[in-house]
Structure 1
Amino acid sequence: MTKLTKKERYESLLSQIKGLVEGESNQIANMANVVAAIFAEFKFHWVGFYLVEGDELVLGPFQGPVACTRITKGKGVCGTAWETGKVQIVDDVHEFPGHIACSAYSLSEIVIPIYSNNKIIGVLDIDSDTYSSFSNEDELYLSAIMSLFLK
């Protein structure tokens, strides 16, 4: 059996997720399927959404161990992504100023701000139990996944 590259795995995942979300208007259902598909494919430590509610990010659909329920704007990697509107790729979360340690097993992280109607409505947060797990390739494909169902 040949081992697929990360790019090939993401391209297969994009196709799978497109089929899962096509025609489904409920965003929570779509988010639940998206995190389940990413979690199953890559076996990351934690995959989930935090959704904007007032002046906080509130835990949404996720896969993995229990997580922090609320995050304020500008706090930790998720809050920073929300505040800046920029993807955060962190090779070592212990070196990130103000990192919120929801799990001692999280070592690296990527957070993708998610937009609807040009407004940030939440973030996709993925934690890995290995250092330096994420790159611009992950950003590219995860952003493409978000664009499949978030307008």
Structure 2
Amino acid sequence: MFNVESYRGTREESYALVKKQLAALLEGETNRIANLSNASALLNQFLDRINWVGFYLLEDDELVLGPFQGLPACVRIPIGKGVCGTSAKQMETLRVEDVHQFPGHIACDAASQSEIVIPLIKNGSLLGVLDIDSPEKNRFDELDQKELENFTQLLVSYL
């Protein structure tokens, strides 16, 4: 059984712990859906002040909803559309302080105010994106971006 340790240290120490927990969850498991499901559940438990966390997976030139935690979400997002589709097209992280100021933002949950989307890239190919929404403006900072990019790199190594 997986034991969730509490996050009481600095933010950096807490991120180190969540990555250690992710590695423990992924070790020896090859099923992509199981690994993405556990990763989204772990992030949902770890991150405060968020209202949605999950994955969109690349399928036939569009992003299709994958494992997530939160309210029901948009099922398909065209590449290049919204924050997720733009991150996928550019293959780079997008940190959006106010989603209402993002051209073409796709509002799956009206409560979302800020968002971070990190592409999942393996061997130069896009697998999908990690999408995290918050009901607060400017929820995600540079440390969140750096650590969540490290989290996704670890995750992708198991996919």
Q: What range is the shorter-chain TM-score in?
A: over 0.9
Aligned partners of 1:49 and 1:124 also within 8 Å: yes
One-letter amino acid of the structure 2 residue matched with residue 76 of structure 1: G
Would you say 1:114 and 2:132 are equivalent positions? no
Gaps of 5+ in 1: none
**SS in structure 2 of the partner of residue 47 of structure 1:** strand
Q: 1:107, 1:149 → 2: CA distance?
A: 26
Q: 2:32, 2:113 → 1: CA distance?
A: 29
Matching residue of 1:40: 45
One-letter amino acid of the structure 1 residue matched with residue 36 of structure 2: M
Would you say 1:31 and 2:36 are equivalent positions? yes
Would you say 1:8 and 2:8 are equivalent positions? no
Aligned partners of 1:21 and 1:148 also within 8 Å: no
Give the 4+ runs in structure 1 shifted more than 3 A.
Answer: 2-5
Matching residue of 1:92: 98
TM-score, normalization: structure 2? Answer: 0.90
C-alpha RMSD of the superposition: 1.4
Matching residue of 2:144: 138
One-letter amino acid of the structure 2 residue matched with residue 67 of structure 1: A
The Cα shift of 1:117 comes to: 2.1
The Cα shift of 1:113 comes to: 0.5
Matching residue of 2:68: 62
Aligned length: 150
Matching residue of 1:78: 84
TM-score, normalization: structure 1? Answer: 0.94
Q: 2:57, 2:16 → 1: CA distance?
A: 26
Identity %: 49
